[in-house]
Structure 1
Amino acid sequence: MADGSAGHPRAEPPADPGADRPADRPADPPADRPTHRPAAPPAALPPYLRPAAVATVAGGGALGSVLRWCATTLPGGGDLGPLLAVNVVGALLLGLLTTVLARSGPDTGLRRTLRLGLGTGGLGGFTSYSALAAAVTTGSAAGGAAGVAGPSPVGVAYVAVSVGLGLVAAWAGIRAGERLVPDTAATPGGGTC
């Protein structure tokens, strides 16, 4: 080979890496410069997922569950009667509490803590509408007889009475709350927002 390459083919100059790039696309950054952007700061947790809120709900739920257990294990109380009473009283108190808190101002600070601790946690733990599933199949809040197939007539009646009375009690609690606390969101033409 006369060109002095000693048998090696001649190297071509590197092709322009941007030659096939559309004109409106910016050039690639140099290899020695990082191409990533710093991570955005983590978004703040929503209020209901913050540790203090979760602890408030858990504490209220524990207290409410203990109160329900005490109320439903009174001697001579039967099986479904005390649970029905607990659920109806809980619905009334929840209607009252949420209305009073909503009419007292924005859901912040102490009002939020009370709503989470007493409402979601306390009254959520106090009431036990989950026992309706056992009542519907067995006619007993405690689970009743094993091997019963299909819904129990007593269980179906219990569910209807419990839900019906719970709705009436919640409505009564809301109405009582409306009487206790004037509506701070009243519009000039009457009515509410």
Structure 2
Amino acid sequence: MNGDPEATPGGPGDHAHRELPLDPDVAGITAGAARPAHLRPDCIGAVFVGGCCGVAARAALVEAFSAGDAIPWAVFVINIVGAFALGVLLEALVRRGPDIGGRRLLRMLLGTGFMGGFTTYSALATDTADLLSSGAVGGGVGYALGTVIVGAAFTWAGIVVGAMVPRRGRGDQR
């Protein structure tokens, strides 16, 4: 060693002795342990089925309630209802116990899958861009901000409603 701190073992230049941070999805998993949720076929299937149903429900509602108005009210209402429902679902699930087993699958099916497919950021962005490019600047800005602000308020309201679900006792892990 030449006295250079960059070259000393454990020094700033010693890359061989540095440990990388653990991936939280796989930390603590040993051989034979359960796979992380994002790699489990049952969770992937739940998200897929829920997402397909959510997209189909959204498409049917947009088709049924699109009145040709300048503001796409159907997508606005879908996003607000979805924000509320997701707030209720996630708060109720967390109050029922840890994110394992049936609760995890329900969260994946309804939360990530159905609500992820039902609500639509892409339609919000596209509709906003369409409004802005057509010259309806006030409508476009109002639509975008209104969706985000009202959506946040309805998410909070959903959390309040979900908080009405009684908590499970510490010993009940179902």
The TM-score normalised by the length of structure 2 is 0.71
Question: What is residue 63 of structure 2 aligned with on the other side?
Answer: 73
Distance 1:54 1:76, change over 3 A: closer
Question: What is residue 51 of structure 1 aligned with on the other side?
Answer: 41
Report the Cα distance in structure 1 between the residues aligned to 2:123 and 2:82, rounded to whole angstroms: 14
Report the Cα distance in structure 1 between the residues aligned to 2:150 and 2:67, rounded to whole angstroms: 19
| Count of aligned positions | 139
Report the Cα distance in structure 2 between the residues aligned to 1:170 and 1:90, rounded to whole angstroms: 8
State whether structure 2 residue 93 is matched by structure 1 residue 109. Answer: no
Q: Pick from 141, 147, 164: which aligns with 2:149?
A: 164
Distance 1:45 1:151, change over 3 A: farther
Report the Cα distance in structure 1 between the residues aligned to 2:65 and 2:167, rounded to whole angstroms: 43
* SS state at 1:100 partner: helix
Gaps of at least 5 residues in structure 2 are 1-29
Report the Cα distance in structure 1 between the residues aligned to 2:68 and 2:106, rounded to whole angstroms: 33
Question: What is residue 95 of structure 1 aligned with on the other side?
Answer: 87
The TM-score normalised by the length of structure 1 is 0.64
Report the Cα distance in structure 1 between the residues aligned to 2:135 and 2:38, rounded to whole angstroms: 39
Report the Cα distance in structure 1 between the residues aligned to 2:67 and 2:169, rounded to whole angstroms: 44
Distance 1:136 1:175, change over 3 A: same
* SS state at 1:107 partner: coil
Report the Cα distance in structure 1 between the residues aligned to 2:105 and 2:66, rounded to whole angstroms: 36
Runs of 4+ in 1 over 6 A off after TM superposition: none
Distance 1:42 1:177, change over 3 A: closer
Deviates more, 1:74-83 or 1:122-131: 74-83
Bigger relative contact order, structure 1 or 2 (CA pairs below 8 A, ≥6 apart): 2
Deviation at 1:139? 1.2
